[in-house]
Amino acid sequence: MEDRDEICPLRSADVFARERLSEKRYGHTLRVADTAEVLARTHGVHPPRARLAALLHDAARELSAEKFLDLVDSWDMPVGEPERESPKLLHGPVAAELARRELGVEDGEVLDAVREHTTGRPGMGPLSLVLYVADKVEPARDYPSVERLRRLAREDLREAAAECLRRSIAHNEERGRPTHPASIETLGWLEEAEDGA
Ligand SMILES: [Fe+2]
Ligand SMILES: [Fe+2]
């Protein structure tokens, strides 16, 4: 039986996402939430916290570039050069801050997972890894290596995250687009940990 304390934030997070998102992106959000819950259970992470992070992760995704910059400036949040150039990169940090301010979410690991889901972060914790990978392998994702990644996600979360990062870096290179430095550093961190294991 679910604990009341766990149900309430999940309900508010669901409404929070649904009110801010198109049907299509809300659908993605629910699929990420289901996937994150399953991965959490497999990898010893508390499933309701993974679901909460997933429900929140893209809640700010449909704000305009101006709105992102207005919000972060009004909060005095530091903004890197890549984010100034491509404000959509701020949708994770902005969703985390809105969830903290408007929903009263105080769970630091949940907020980190939301914040870090676009680029990753070296040292990211298990809950962040669950969300990062769930976002890339939810059932509607369709790209050549997705089945292999789904399998890897069940077996080895860190290797799955590393593989998602390699894929996204290669994808950017093909298109002549820069990769966020945090993604490159995160991949380095994951590979270092593998070598040392
Ligand atoms: Fe996102
Ligand atoms: Fe997403």
Distance CA 60, CA 71 (A): 11
Task: Please give the pLDDT value at position 159.
Answer: 97
| Mean pLDDT, residues 53-82 taken together | 97
DSSP-derived letter for residue 141 is: -
For residue 70, how far is its CA from the centre of ligand 2 (angstroms)? Answer: 22
Ligand nearest to the CA of 136: 2
Task: Please give the pLDDT value at position 1.
Answer: 45
Q: What is the pTM of this model?
A: 0.94
For residue 197, how far is its CA from the centre of ligand 2 (angstroms)? Answer: 30
At 84, list the tokens.
Answer: 């100034």
Ligand nearest to the CA of 33: 2
Distance CA 179, CA 94 (A): 20
Distance CA 154, CA 51 (A): 17
For residue 61, how far is its CA from the centre of ligand 1 (angstroms)? Answer: 7
Task: Please give the pLDDT value at position 8.
Answer: 82
Ligand nearest to the CA of 54: 2
Q: Is the pLDDT of residue 169 over 70?
A: yes
Cα torsion angle, 56, 183, 187, 137, sign: positive
